[in-house]
Amino acid sequence: MKYFFTLTSFILTFSCIAQESKWGSTDADSIRCYENYNNFGSLYNGKSYVAAFKPWLFVYNTCPQAKEVIYKIGPKIVDARIKATKDSSKRNELILLLLKVHDDYNRYFPGKEASVLAKKAYDFYRFYPDKYYEAYNMFNIALNLDPGAVQTAYLNKYFNTVIKLYKVDSLDTEGLLNGYSMVGESAEAQTNKWNRRITLLTEKDTLGTISSKEKRILSTDKKRLNQVNKLFSNIEKKIAPLLTCDRLSLIYNEDNLISHADDASWLRRAEKMLSKERLDSLGLTDCTDNPIYFQIAESLYDLDPSPQSARSMGVLSIKNEKWEEAIKYFSIAIEGEVDPIKKSRDHMRIAVINQKIGDLPSAKKHIVNASRLNESSGEIYLVWASIYAQAAGTCGNNVFEKNAVYWAAVNKLIKAKQVDPEISSRANKAIVNYRNGFPDKSISFQFGYKEGDSYRIPCWINETVRVAF
């Protein structure tokens, strides 16, 4: 990031500068502060960070309240000086200076306490990796102040401290999961903001009304979302062995629910952990079979009627086979949700419910919406294929037309493998099964169709397929 420094004439500004104590306690200090301020600014913008250290340090020591930019770019300047210093004693002095810069930022320019403290914790842990307990405490204070202000890179470092404390028995399993939840809540606070902006700017991009600045913002927000996804992928590799339903049941049980009955934060974290989807040999599963989940879902919806709690009530309704009620709750979740991936899953849930009760046109409508919101999900296309296959015998006027739906189903399975190779095995098994339902070659010929011809499937499917045997 480039910062702009004002190069105003000393003759015109000296009297004003001298009157402001923030530029130094004497006239001489004011002049030297202003000179050094412009000097380190020019060097910084020229990426000469080590050379910028001396004039920056003068300004920092002599007129620390002059400008906020002293603390915005100061850490990068000091960090460059640390890297260029070989003497261990001087290097340690510079590290202490770096940490003090963060403290002084909050002292002289308050208002960004959480983000500044998170940056301090990050720097502290970089240079003192063995003092992870101190870093953990700093991160925790920052996250409690404002979870949405802690950058993704800092969240990764924070969770490293959580893992280390867990390994030395300073944190129990619940403490580990709470750390995991704090990372999730912080990331969600930020991704919600990015997702809202991405939705707005994507629409403008589609309409051709987006500006060049907005295009840059859209690209940056998408990159940030990708970074968060990578962060959680790395974190989940570390915590996956502890996310088993058996382990979670030791924490989220009747006794703990009683003691946290009015604690929306605890209920929210418990709901997320129990409803978290994980992939096994049978597909996506969760821990909502835990009896306590139903009580958590109801208590959370009463205390905090949010998209997430509505989603929980939808899951609860499915367990009780209250299909219309489940559709209602998932629709409420969709209406209030800003995360397209979560909205996509809710649409898929409604599609599956509609499929179960035999409303296949509605099932298709929701699975199409799910695919638009999450184009990289193979699971969506597996469901889509099963919806088409279920229509066999009902979509058409003769045996050829009624079985042509299997061609459309196989097309969706092929698409599933393309977007998500990891589900290829499941898709291939379904393809073998659905091929058995293809219209017979001789029957197809009787109705005027041969290998390679195009055929438009009627009714609500309304898709063109290629005749194949």
pLDDT digits (tens, 9 = 90+) for 209-238: 999 999 999 999 999 988 888 888 888 888
Q: 288, 274 in Cβ contact below 8 A? A: yes
pLDDT value of residue 45: 94
Q: Which of 400, 386, 376, 419 is nearest to 458 (CA)?
A: 400
Domain around 421? 255-466
pLDDT digits (tens, 9 = 90+) for 21-76: 688 788 888 899 999 999 999 999 999 999 999 999 999 999 999 999 999 999 99
Is there a domain that residue 129 lies in? Answer: no
Integer Cα distance of 83 and 222 in angstroms: 32
91 class by beta-carbon count within 10 Å (0-12 exposed, 13-18 middle, 19+ buried) = middle
Per the structure, the count of domains in the chain is 1
> Three-state SS for 461?
coil
Is there a domain that residue 278 lies in? Answer: yes
Q: Which of 85, 81, 83 is nearest to 101 (CA)?
A: 81
Integer Cα distance of 43 and 254 in angstroms: 62
203 class by beta-carbon count within 10 Å (0-12 exposed, 13-18 middle, 19+ buried) = exposed
Is there a domain that residue 53 lies in? Answer: no
Distances (CA, A) of 233 to 31, 236, 281, 343, 351: 52, 5, 19, 20, 27
User: Which residues in 288-427 belong to E strands, given as ranges?
Assistant: none
Is there a domain that residue 204 lies in? Answer: no
Q: Which of 217, 186, 184 is nearest to 200 (CA)?
A: 217
Q: What CATH number did the domain enclosing 328 receive?
A: 1.25.40.10
Tokens representing 5?
């420094």
Contacts of 417 (CB under 8 A, 6+ apart): 378, 423, 424, 427, 428
Instruction: Give the residue-averaged pLDDT of 92-107.
Output: 97
Is there a domain that residue 318 lies in? Answer: yes
Cα R_g (the chain), whole angstroms: 30
Integer Cα distance of 57 and 77 in angstroms: 9
Per-residue pLDDT band for 15 (boundaries 50, 70, 90) equals very low
Q: 355, 386 in Cβ contact below 8 A? A: yes
Is there a domain that residue 285 lies in? Answer: yes
pLDDT digits (tens, 9 = 90+) for 409-450: 999 999 999 999 989 999 999 999 999 999 888 888 888 788
Q: Which of 396, 365, 404, 402 is nearest to 383 (CA)?
A: 365
Kindly tell me if the per-residue pLDDT of 284 is higher than 70.
no
Q: Which of the two residues, 353 and 445, has the higher pLDDT score?
A: 353
pLDDT value of residue 333: 96
Q: Tell the residue number behind the tokens 């970074």, with chain if given.
A: 227
Between strands 454-456 and 283-285, the pairing is unpaired
Residue 136: in which H helix or E strand, if any? helix 132-145
Kindly tell me if the per-residue pLDDT of 6 is higher than 70.
no
pLDDT, the chain, mean: 89
Strongest mean pLDDT among 185-194, 199-208, 263-272, 364-373: 364-373
Q: What single DSSP character describes residue 440?
A: P
Q: 457, 398 in Cβ contact below 8 A? A: no
Kindly tell me if the per-residue pLDDT of 203 is higher than 70.
yes
Is there a domain that residue 372 lies in? Answer: yes
Kindly tell me if the per-residue pLDDT of 14 is higher than 50.
no
At 1, the amino acid letter reads M
Q: 307, 337 in Cβ contact below 8 A? A: yes
At 343, the amino acid letter reads K
> Three-state SS for 165?
helix
Is there a domain that residue 28 lies in? Answer: no
